[in-house]
Structure 1
């Protein structure tokens, strides 16, 4: 079969890889001159297969009101816009802020995440995919607040392979936390989680893809229109140029929303802006070897080879991916207080990106109302974690095969 895939980030590249691996022909279309230069470029790097709780949860709206009063120093910052799309998204988010809804959606995400881990393992072992700073180093979520720790411990699913630790055990798992131990209330440890450099992973996938006669990359070409004929997409327009398609798969992150609106398809996706710092390491003394998430500050730390990646924060309020220096200053301060031995965070490379999130936190995979139009969108902050599993599922769905995981809660309802 012949596919056109729009989007050259980690979702589009893994989708193309899964399809080419099955023997299909793929034309990958990316508006930038190179792949993985936007949301996939400098994300948190953590492959959090077992810690997949959606942002929407009981108590979050009240907590968010308190954060809003803190302005630029809050983990979550909301800026209202004159936008029907934003307010519809926010209303659905509030409706999803129930404990029962959170646990149901977390179960959907966990099912897909564990499959994604298996798929990446197969690609590494069967295809020899390597050299993207991958390690199986576990994930430790630390809690500074007693109430948040007790809530996390109560919600723990033993089947997910997680363990509840006290402050001393947290420091034993990750010695770089010893200076903080007295300020910690405890932590949740997921020994099976992993880490990797998403941008490097995308580059390695592209290197494999370009060797195949079944793959072609169209970079530096922005799609300006999807041309419909009855119940099918007939062609794509790039300004005056057009490309006829047999099957079209959308994996363009937050940009997918505006791409599909002219077709009358309203995706419940809004960009959640996040930030990161990438700090070169001169030594590994005092640097976390385990993936660490500071739950109460909403900051993640991951060592990627000879670099430390620090990522954090959620800005809800627009489609602008530019770096806000006030938010970066906050991230520099928090990182410096948590792991001061890593180096001077003012010298770190700064980045901001738009995470394409659904209100419920679950991605939208599979068919649409058009016969040859497919979706692989809405992964939020779990794009790298869920990418391989989502791609594998799409590879089954588009060829009418039964996917490896149940699709409950993971499909698009028009």
Structure 2
């Protein structure tokens, strides 16, 4: 079967890899180079065992700060955009304990499948991507926030995750670069099995390997619409692009936050809205104990740190501000300040390499995977992964491959 994958971010490329591996002919279309969107400068963490959704009951107490504080790591700027309001109301509706538990269970199951898929990809193409498996620490600044973490750890333990609460002294023993930050921590969640990698390098390596296997890449192509099959209006015959029409037997939409608009053109409502994030990437001091080797998330600052080779990726913030791709200097300085505070000896911060990306988020935090009602039967969707696109990409790809061959519709 000839399958056309729309999108060359990590989700689209993982899908192309899985489909090619299962014997399909594959074409990948994107307006830019692989990984140039939300994948390129992401947080680099592969959080297979710690997937607490953003939609959480604690959001209600934070709401005034989200709306009014200019320094909040989570930011909402209301606009005259019906999608933003509809998405926002759906998000607040998901901020309850029952929905959060259900979302956590589904994300952990998908993440476990994704770990297996990522490892299969590694064995298959041996990508040069600064991969590490040094574990992860999620830091908490107060006893109250640590108590909330205990509840999440217990929930995830019952779902199969292996992690534990550790003291500040144990944090420093696990990651010596945290020594100067010891007094700012009440404790942390330690997950020994977590990993990290440079997602942009993974994307480049996937393109290299797939191209060698005959996968066709049509880059620099804007998608304008779709041509319906004559006599079969419930199917798509071709995707219409700036490089001409491209025919296929089936199509997979993995266009991130751009999926909503094209989904509407097909009669499907996709509750996907951009969750804007930022990152910096800095060279590290090679001295032992200066820069972290373990992945670290500072929960209070909503900032993540991941070691990728001789560099440190620092990423954070979540803004519902539409498709504004500007990079305010204040947000980048916030990430630099966080680096100085948590890891004062890690880097001279001479060059920051600032980046921003639009994470495609759904209100509950669950990606949309498979066929949808009212959409053409040969169009499958693989979008809405939020901040977990890298983590969930290969598990999502497996589900798309299963849905492609299934008689009944499948969605997640």
Q: Shorter-chain TM-score: what band?
A: over 0.9
Give 3-state SS (helix, strand or coil) of 1:231's partner: strand
Give 3-state SS (helix, strand or coil) of 2:108's partner: helix
Cα contact 2:137–2:296 (8 A) shared by 1: yes
User: What corresponds to 1:4 in structure 2?
Assistant: 4
Give 3-state SS (helix, strand or coil) of 2:120's partner: helix
User: Matched residues in 2 for 1:191 and 1:310: separation?
Assistant: 20
User: Matched residues in 2 for 1:128 and 1:317: separation?
Assistant: 38
* Residue 274 (structure 2) pairs with residue 271 (structure 1): yes
Give 3-state SS (helix, strand or coil) of 2:29's partner: strand
Cα contact 1:396–1:402 (8 A) shared by 2: no
User: Matched residues in 2 for 1:39 and 1:401: separation?
Assistant: 32
User: Matched residues in 2 for 1:262 and 1:297: separation?
Assistant: 39
Cα contact 2:284–2:348 (8 A) shared by 1: no
User: Matched residues in 1 for 2:314 and 2:101: separation?
Assistant: 27
User: Matched residues in 2 for 1:18 and 1:239: separation?
Assistant: 27
Give 3-state SS (helix, strand or coil) of 1:349's partner: coil
1:83 aligned residue (81, 84, 91):
81
User: Normalising to structure 1: TM-score of the pair?
Assistant: 0.94
User: Matched residues in 2 for 1:64 and 1:289: separation?
Assistant: 34
* Residue 342 (structure 2) pairs with residue 338 (structure 1): yes
Aligned runs of 1:200-215 on 2, under 5 Å?
A: 200-213=201-214, 215=215
Deviation, 1:180, is: 1.1
* Residue 372 (structure 2) pairs with residue 368 (structure 1): yes
Give 3-state SS (helix, strand or coil) of 1:130's partner: coil
Aligned in 2, Cα 1:45/1:240: closer, same or farther, shift over 3 Å? closer
Deviation, 1:61, is: 2.6
2:388 aligned residue (379, 382, 385):
382
Displaced runs of 4 or more, over 3 A: none
Aligned runs of 1:340-359 on 2, under 5 Å?
A: 340-345=344-349, 347-359=351-363
Superposed CA deviations along residues 145-193 of structure 1, whole A, max 9, x for unmatched, are 2211111112213231011111111111111111111221000011111
User: What corresponds to 2:166 in structure 1?
Assistant: 165
Cα contact 1:145–1:296 (8 A) shared by 2: no
Instruction: Give unmatched runs, 5+ long, in structure 2.
Output: none
User: Matched residues in 1 for 2:110 and 2:34: separation?
Assistant: 25
Cα contact 2:67–2:77 (8 A) shared by 1: no
Give 3-state SS (helix, strand or coil) of 1:210's partner: helix
User: What corresponds to 2:20 in structure 1?
Assistant: 20
User: Normalising to structure 2: TM-score of the pair?
Assistant: 0.94
Superposed CA deviations along residues 236-288 of structure 1, whole A, max 9, x for unmatched, are 11248222221010001001111121222120011000000000124244111
Higher mean alpha-carbon deviation, 107-116 vs 330-339, is at 330-339
Deviation, 1:338, is: 1.1
Give the total of aligned pairs.
402
Give 3-state SS (helix, strand or coil) of 1:160's partner: coil
Higher mean alpha-carbon deviation, 355-364 vs 284-293, is at 284-293
Aligned in 2, Cα 1:19/1:122: closer, same or farther, shift over 3 Å? same
Cα contact 1:167–1:184 (8 A) shared by 2: yes
Superposed CA deviations along residues 297-337 of structure 1, whole A, max 9, x for unmatched, are 10000010010000000111111222121211211111111
1:111 aligned residue (109, 123, 127):
109
Instruction: Give unmatched runs, 5+ long, in structure 1.
Output: none
Superposed CA deviations along residues 372-410 of structure 1, whole A, max 9, x for unmatched, are 00011000000000001111121121012999xxx7xx5
Cα contact 1:64–1:76 (8 A) shared by 2: no
Cα RMSD of the aligned pairs, angstroms, is 1.6
* Residue 68 (structure 2) pairs with residue 64 (structure 1): no
